Amino acid sequence: MTRLAVIGTGVAGLAVAIRAAKLGFEVHAFEQASIPGGKIGEFIQDGFRFDMGPSLFTLPELLDELLEEEFRFDYRKLDVITNYFYEDGTEIKAYASPNKIAEELQGKTGIEKQKVIDYLNEAKFIYKTTAPVFLFNSVHRLRDILTFSNLKRIFSLPRLHPFSTLHQLNKKKFSDERIVQFFGRYATYNGSDPYRAPGTFQVISHLEHNLGAYFPKNGMRSIIKSLFDQAKKLGVNFHFNSKVRQVLSDQKEVKGILVNDEKIDFEVVISDVDIYRFYSDLLPDKKRLNQLKQAERSTSAFIFYWGMNKKFPQLDLHNIFFSKNYREEFDSLFEKKQMYSDPTVYVFISSKENEEDSPKGKENWFVMVNAPENVGQNWKEEAFKLRRRIVEKINRMLGENIESQILFQQILDPVKIEKNTSSFGGALYGPSSNSRFSAFNRHPNFHRCIKGLYFVGGSVHPGGGIPLCLSSAKIVEKMIKKYANH
Q: Is 228 in a helix, a strand, or coil?
A: helix
- Distance of alpha carbon 335 from alpha carbon 79, whole angstroms: 37
Q: Are 412 and 302 in contact (CB under 8 A)?
A: yes
Calculate the alpha carbon distances from 214 to 101, 317, 375 in Å.
Answer: 17, 11, 35
One digit per residue, pLDDT tens: the chain, 486 residues? 899 999 999 999 999 999 999 999 999 999 999 999 988 889 999 999 999 987 889 999 999 999 999 999 999 999 999 999 999 999 999 999 999 999 999 999 999 999 999 999 999 999 998 887 777 787 655 555 555 455 455 556 667 788 899 999 999 999 999 999 999 999 998 899 999 999 999 999 999 999 999 999 888 999 999 999 999 999 999 999 999 999 999 989 999 999 988 999 999 999 999 999 999 999 999 988 888 888 889 999 999 999 999 999 999 999 999 999 999 999 999 999 999 999 999 999 999 999 999 999 999 999 999 999 999 999 999 999 999 999 999 999 999 999 999 999 999 999 999 988 888 899 988 888 887 766 667 899 999 999 999 999 999 999 888 999 999 999 999 999 988 865
Q: What does the angle CA 168 – CA 169 – CA 174 come to, to the nearest 5 degrees? A: 100
Helices (H), 137-257: 142-145, 148-153, 166-173, 177-184, 203-206, 221-233
Distances (CA, A) of 196 to 169, 173, 330, 424, 432: 11, 17, 10, 22, 10
Which pLDDT value is given to residue 55?
83
Q: Which residues contact 229 (CB under 8 A, 6 or more apart)?
A: 71
pLDDT score for 148 = 46
Q: By the 8 A CB rule, do 176 and 111 touch?
A: yes
Separation CA 205–CA 478 (nearest Å):
29
Other CB atoms within a 10 A radius of the CB of residue 69 amount to 6
Quote the Cα angle for 128-207-43, to 5°.
140
Q: What is the DSSP string of 305-359?
A: EEEESS--TT--SEEEE--S-HHHHHHIIIII----SS--EEEE-GGGT-GGGS-
Helix (H) or strand (E) holding 237: strand 237-239
Identify the pLDDT of residue 408: 98
pLDDT digits (tens, 9 = 90+) for 108-124: 999 999 999 999 999 99
Domains (ranges, CATH) in the chain?
Answer: 3-40+220-295+433-483 (3.50.50.60)
CB-hemisphere CA count at 13 Å for 105?
A: 29
In Å, what is the CA distance from 426 to each residue of 35, 311, 374, 443? 20, 32, 6, 18
pLDDT score at 134: 77
Q: What angle do CA 169, 129, 318 make, to 5 degrees?
A: 60
Tell me, what's the pLDDT at 304? 97
In this prediction, residue 139 carries a pLDDT of 64
pTM for this prediction:
0.92
> Which of 74, 101, 362 is CA-nearest to residue 215?
74
Query: What angle do helix axes 11-23 and 221-233 make, rounded to 10 degrees?
Result: 20
Cα–Cα distance measured from residue 278 to residue 266, given in angstroms and rounded to the nearest whole number: 17
